[in-house]
Amino acid sequence: MLFWLGVHKPRWLERLDVPLMVSHRQLSREPNLPRARAPWALDSGAFSEIAAHGRFLTTPVAYAAAVRRYSGEIGNLAWAAPQDWMCEPIILRGGTVGAQRFAGTGLSVAEHQRRTIASVLELRWTAADLPWIPVLQGFALDDYGRHVDAYARAGIDLGAEPLVGLGSVCRRQATSEIDRIVTTLAGMGFRLHGFGVKTSGLGRYGWALPSAAPQPPPAGLRASAWREDLRELPPLRAVVARPGARALHRQPAAHPAGDGRMSGPPLRILSLGAGVQSSCVLLMSIEGELDHLDAAIFSDTGWEPAAVYAHLARLEDAAAMAGGAGPPGKRREPPRRRARPRAPLRLDAAPCPKS
């Protein structure tokens, strides 16, 4: 499976070497676009636009022109979603979920499906050279089956498409209902991308999805509220702690007390595996989207591929740029490959003390 990490900071395209998904709503606000380091996918922002207005304010011609700009200036665009129409009841009828208000379209599932196909056809006619993917919409399993038939009548063979988006699953992506929908459509030979599918859903039917991504967060969303004291924290610095470990940390506010204990607030330390999730947490902390980190520690086995060390170097640079200071010493080069030991490594785990 190819997992696309949904992000709301377009600048991450030039920082990360992992597949990203970015929303048109975020990119459209960028006067200067970044160059992508890795393949990325474009979300049309359809959910946010329809939820807020009950219709698209962006015309197909304007959207196609924007995607052409992204493709040319950012590069590495793998595919782009059309201006599809979700089919959840709250989108159709409107209402309020938590703090979010939905305008409602007042239309039927069948009309949303018709408009989704019309968007795919119009965008492919307007900009045939761009990598548009079709998206299946519905709510019940039979809805998706009828949408498959409607695509066929429109001349689009979903079985021949390199990728087919699956929409209207985000809010129920971990349910048995979506499990049944995904496995049924995959059994028809479609190569599906699950919009809004997270790890809880992947654990149920990930084997049937060649591609998946969580929804990119909307603009202004904060994983935790800003605290005033965050602005007074010392800058984040990048350091190499010792052989066998690398650390990205702030100089902690805590200092050894006379009794040998640490004074001040407890430290917040990230276990940095240098994969998608921990790298995302680190960068979100640097950007202020998450609470500050006092340290991020990478346990270095000495056997990591060169690409991992290159990625760590970029994370160190990002931390140094955020704090205005570089590493205090020379960065250690990736270790040379050595012959593997003949005996397997032994891993011992100490039992946790009883509370």
Measure Cα distances from 39 to 120, 207, 235, 283, 345 in Å: 22, 22, 32, 19, 36
Task: Specify whether 181 is located in the same domain as 240.
Answer: no
Chain segment 202-261, per-residue pLDDT in tens: 888 888 999 887 655 444 333 332 233 333 334 433 333 333 444 444 444 444 444 444
Domain assignment of residue 285, yes or no: yes
Q: Pull the structure tokens for residue 69.
A: 């700009």
Task: Specify whether 116 is located in the same domain as 250.
Answer: no
Q: Tell the burial category of 68 from Cβ atoms under 10 Å away from its Cβ (0-12, 13-18, 19+).
A: middle
Q: How far is it, in rounded angstroms, from Cα 218 to Cα 63?
A: 18
Domain assignment of residue 100, yes or no: yes
Task: Specify whether 248 is located in the same domain as 178.
Answer: no
Helix (H, G, I), strand (E, B) or coil at 241: strand
Q: Which residues constitute the domain of residue 182? A: 2-213
H or E stretch at 23: strand 20-23
Task: Specify whether 198 is located in the same domain as 247.
Answer: no
Domain assignment of residue 106, yes or no: yes
Task: Specify whether 120 is located in the same domain as 10.
Answer: yes
Task: Specify whether 199 is located in the same domain as 62.
Answer: yes
Give residue 292's pLDDT band: very low, low, confident or very high (50, 70, 90): confident
109-114, long-range: CB within 8 Å, 24+ apart, which pairs?
Answer: 109/137, 109/138, 109/139, 109/143, 110/146, 111/85, 112/85, 112/86, 112/87, 112/137, 113/85, 113/87, 113/137, 113/138, 113/143, 113/146, 113/147, 113/150, 114/150
Average the pLDDT over 338-348 and give the result: 35
Q: How far is it, in rounded angstroms, from Cα 118 to Cα 248?
A: 49
**pLDDT at residue number 66:** 98
Number of domains forming the structure of the chain: 2
Domain assignment of residue 329, yes or no: no
CATH number for position 9 = 3.20.20
Q: How far is it, in rounded angstroms, from Cα 163 to Cα 21?
A: 15
**pLDDT at residue number 133:** 98
Task: Specify whether 303 is located in the same domain as 205.
Answer: no
Task: Specify whether 206 is located in the same domain as 316.
Answer: no
Task: Specify whether 103 is located in the same domain as 243.
Answer: no
* Least reliable range by pLDDT among 32-36, 79-83, 101-105, 254-258: 254-258
Task: Specify whether 97 is located in the same domain as 46.
Answer: yes
User: pTM here?
Assistant: 0.65
Task: Specify whether 27 is located in the same domain as 152.
Answer: yes
Domain assignment of residue 246, yes or no: yes
106 Rama class: left (phi>0) / alpha (psi -120 to 50) / beta: left
Domain assignment of residue 335, yes or no: no
Task: Specify whether 11 is located in the same domain as 149.
Answer: yes
Domain assignment of residue 164, yes or no: yes
- Does the structure show a pLDDT above 50 at 38? yes
- Does the structure show a pLDDT above 60 at 117? yes
